[in-house]
A and B are shown apart, each in its own frame.
Chain A
Amino acid sequence: MEAIKSWFRERLPISGAQLQELTNEPVPNHLKRWWFCLGGTPAYLFVVQIFTGILLALYYQAAPSTAYESVRHITHEVSFGWYFRSVHKWAATLMVAAVILHQMRVYFTGAYRKPRELNWMVGMCLLLCTLMIGFTGYSLVYEQLSYWGATVGANICDTIPVVGKYFKQLLLAGEVYNQQTLPRFYILHAAILPVTMILLLAIHIGILRLQGVTEFRFEDEPPGKPAQFDFFPDHLYTELIIGLILMILLSVLSTVLPAVMGDPADPLTTPEVIKPEWFFYVTFRWLKLFAPTFAVLSMGFIVFLMFVWPFIDGWIRRKTRFSEASVWIGIVGVLLIIGLTVWEAAVEH
């Protein structure tokens, strides 16, 4: 036994104590409250997505003539194919929801403020990547929603002045949806975006480790309580339990509401009603409210404001007496998002 240990020690010159030092960061006590685990939740779901995505990629064939049939084959013929496809779909849905909730938690607790502005911007990049990976994901099934969703998405790009047509060509690999479009979406969904997200996540967690988690004290905590607890095993145990609960939730959702197959894509038949996934309802309703160019440009401006919000907030706090303006702006923003989403969900057109 000792010989095996020393064999490994020679080749991996790191001791248990060093490994513990590297991984065992003291975790602030407030992380025992469940809503502070919303950052770990999308990260866990992202791992689930990579695992189930690799499984699905073993059978999926990214070409207009084969895509729908290969998804049907996975869903109806491969052992537990329906389960892994449904888990992939539901994990995506929960991941988008968890990312949004995580961002709201960071926003309303002011955890983006100096010196954490850069990590907020990295988080915004992760949010946009999550939405894009969701969009390219449902385009791969090649059902009616996939085809017309991609077409509508490309037409939205086209409304941007000057550069819009180039975006559209870049997205569709041509002026209109063609045989090269689906492989392009597949590479974006299964290679470019996941690798980008892994790099961004490494930076996100790296900055978090360098700066430490923002510490909060709550009024109901006894004064003598230690401010921190160990990552290992305490916080790891919490994350493992959350992971198991998520797996149970995903399995229940996948069994009760499995991913189904819509009608196969038919470029000649424009559907009467076309709606994207729920997380694009806000965008979709916004587009219906205003002229296309104004809607797209104003949305871009809102995203830009979100990116640089820590600096705007810093300026407001320094120069004005409205130090808690961000809370009220946040409440208005959340109500607007919920309102537009419910509106789009409630009406047919």
Chain B
Amino acid sequence: MSEADVGKPSASSDGSDRRTFFSAMAMFSGLLGGYGLFASLAARFLFPAGPAAKEWMFVAEVSAISPGAAFDFRSPAGHIISIAHLGEKAAAEDFVALSRVCPHLGCRVHWESVNNRFFCPCHNGAFDAEGNATEGPPKDARQVLARYPVKVEQGLLFIEVPLATLAQADDTDGAPEAVPYV
């Protein structure tokens, strides 16, 4: 330090060092907090979610569905499902619940009881009663209609479907629909 510097206030005594330090710390904390939180959310995202929560839902009384008839059923999560009474009896094996969304391009398939098949009018795709493709582009790609488990208890038909989140429940008024169309 030269003689002329003696008696001058040092940088730290006028608080500029402290200000620099605190502003650097504020910047560092902000960056660490912001991007740290973002990184922790990303880490949570990377771990796969468990299997989707499913629930058995009541569809209809078995006696109300005559053999050969089919229902449209919309789950709370928005899945459009066709439930058909294929057998003569009223056991779970006599019902089939298949997604109405064609795996080819997403058109809606419908049950043709006369031809005993699900038919997709977009590209003439067809599926047998078990949901296996029998004609059209889905057959070429060996695609099937997604299948949902059903059960019969005390004369009531139930279907197992993924549960809705709160946001989805708002969209569908929280209530599943069962609309007969055949």
Interface, chain A (partner B; CB < 8 A)? 51, 55, 58, 64-65, 68, 72-73, 76-81, 83-84, 142, 147, 177-179, 237, 240-241, 244, 247-248, 258, 260-261, 264-269
Contact = CB atoms under 8 A, between A and B. Distances in A.
B45 A244 contact: no
Interface in B51-74: 52
A266 B107 CA distance: 5
A64 B143 CA distance: 12
Contact of B41 (A83, A258, A264): A83
B106 A73 contact: no
A264 B78 CA distance: 9
B103 A64 contact: yes
B49 A78 contact: yes
B42 interface: yes
B25 to A, nearest CB: 13
A84 B30 CA distance: 21
Contacts of B6: none
Contacts of B78: 72, 261, 264
B27 A78 contact: no
Given A244-B34, A268-B122, A79 B47 contact: yes
Contact of B106 (A76, A79, A80, A264): A264
Contacts of A79: 44-45, 47, 49
Contacts of A77: 49, 52
Nearest to A68: B106
Interface residues of B, number: 32
Contacts of A248: 34
Contacts of A65: 101, 103-104, 106, 143
Interface in B90-110: 101, 103-108
Given A73-B49, A76-B168, A77-B49, A244 B106 contact: no
Contact of A76 (B30, B143, B165): B165
Given A73-B52, A179-B137, A267 B46 contact: no
Given A76-B165, A247-B38, A264 B101 contact: yes
Given A77-B52, A79-B45, A267 B31 contact: no
A132 to B, nearest CB: 23
A34 B72 CA distance: 57
Contacts of B114: none
A84 B42 contact: yes
Contact of A80 (B34, B41, B105, B137): B41
Given A65-B143, A240-B27, A248-B34, A268 B108 contact: yes
A80 B49 CA distance: 10
A110 B42 CA distance: 41
B141 interface: yes
A200 B104 CA distance: 37
Nearest to B23: A237
A84 B45 contact: yes
Given A267-B105, A268-B108, A76 B167 contact: yes
A179 B104 contact: yes
B7 interface: no
Contacts of A265: 105-106
B121 A268 contact: yes
A252 to B, nearest CB: 13
A80 B42 CA distance: 8
Interface in B126-181: 137, 141, 143, 165, 167-168
B48 interface: yes
Contact of A64 (B31, B46, B48, B105): B105
